[in-house]
Amino acid sequence: MLRAARGSRLLGLWILNNCSAKVYRDGHLILCSATGKTKGVVVGHNVARSSTATVAEGTNDSFLKWTLLLIPVATFGLGTWQVQRRKWKLGLIEALAERSCLEPVPLPLDQLDVKKLEYRRVMVRGRFDHSRELYIMPRSQVDPEKEAREAGRLTSSGDTGANVITPFHCTDLGVRILVNRGFVPRRKINPETRSKGQITDEVELVGIVRLTETRKPFTPQNDIEKNVWHYRDLEAMAQIVDTEPILIDADFDSTVAGGPVGGQTRITLRNEHLQYIITWYGLCAATSYMWFQKFIRKIPA
């Protein structure tokens, strides 16, 4: 009897030393292993390890869930902000268009006052110096009626040419300024081809004040040696022809037979807000859908 009891005890200790057990409850592992030693009672239970891991995993999922939700929320906010920006820009363009139709005022000589009159009509009186013309090109003719007819077309039937910038001596002010006389097609850029339109008499002009222009990223540099200007650099232009850095676009009424076509002012401001709206709202919709699939419907990736 004593020998049998001792044998059973030894068998139990051998099992503790050499065997491990895995116990599952409701599909979850609750006992990874059980070990023992014959010398002293040392039993290791890893029952709590799985529970701790499950809680940590749930915490991480919750943090990830609410962190990723910030993406559609932020893109929705940016899209809404662009809607407001577009509304503001369209209002500004409309205001500038209305400003360009106000009654003309005398041209001031102070540069600060001139800058405040951008897109405002002014009056000057004097004579042109046709010997020192400058050419901004390539340009297409501003023709509102024609542009309305061609709206929506992929291509335009308009010819390209240049805007003729001519020094103008203001006899009433005693200074020289720059005047954009208007558009000429390429075949008429050479002044000898439009001699009838080269006014020599003193004239009174109404024009719209324009400020210097910043070169856009893909716009070529002005070629001063060839007298080809791609954007309005009033300081450089004025230095070349010895005038004040003041430019006005002569209105359409200044047009004479055989000369440049006046009224070449485009009331335009950079307005890319619509594509930003589409981009941000599109990202919001896409990320919202993915978040819903992942965390609400719990579809595995």
pLDDT reading at 36 higher than 90: no
DSSP secondary structure code for residue 63 in this structure: H
Strands 28-31 and 160-170: unpaired
- The secondary structure of 181-233, three-state, reads EEEEEHHHCCHHHHHHHCCCCCEEEEEEEECCCCCCCCCCCCECCCCEECCCC
In this predicted model, what pLDDT tens digit does every residue of 233-271 receive, in sequence order? 999 999 999 999 999 999 999 999 999 999 999 887 778
* Backbone torsion region of residue 261, taken as left when φ is above 0, otherwise alpha when ψ lies between -120 and 50, otherwise beta: beta
pLDDT reading at 1 higher than 90: no
**180 phi/psi in degrees, rounded to 5:** -80, 100
Mean pLDDT over the full length of the chain: 81
The dihedral sign for the CA sequence 100, 102, 108, 114: negative
250-267 in b/e form (b: 16+ CB < 10 A) is bbeebbbeebbbbbbbeb
How sure is the predictor about 7, in pLDDT bands with cuts at 50, 70 and 90? low
Tokens of 116: 């405040």
How sure is the predictor about 27, in pLDDT bands with cuts at 50, 70 and 90? very low
pLDDT reading at 152 higher than 50: no
Tokens of 109: 């000589």
In this predicted model, what pLDDT tens digit does every residue of 53-104 receive, in sequence order? 555 555 667 778 888 889 999 999 999 999 999 998 888 888 888 888 889 9
What are the strands, taking DSSP E only, across 51-150? 105-106, 121-128, 134-140
Q: What angle do CA 129, 160, 263 make, to 5 degrees?
A: 55
How sure is the predictor about 187, in pLDDT bands with cuts at 50, 70 and 90? very high
What whole-number percentage of the chain has pLDDT above 70?
A: 74
Least reliable range by pLDDT among 42-51, 92-101, 126-135, 163-172: 42-51
**How far is C-alpha 159 from the geometric centre of its chain's CA atoms?**
29
Contact status, residue 137 vs residue 228, Cβ threshold 8 Å:
yes
What whole-number percentage of the chain has pLDDT above 90?
A: 57
Least reliable range by pLDDT among 63-67, 110-114, 210-214, 242-246: 63-67
How sure is the predictor about 23, in pLDDT bands with cuts at 50, 70 and 90? very low
pLDDT reading at 4 higher than 70: no
pLDDT of residue 64: 82
0.85 exceeded by pTM: no
What is the full DSSP assignment across 162-174? EEEEEEEEETTTT
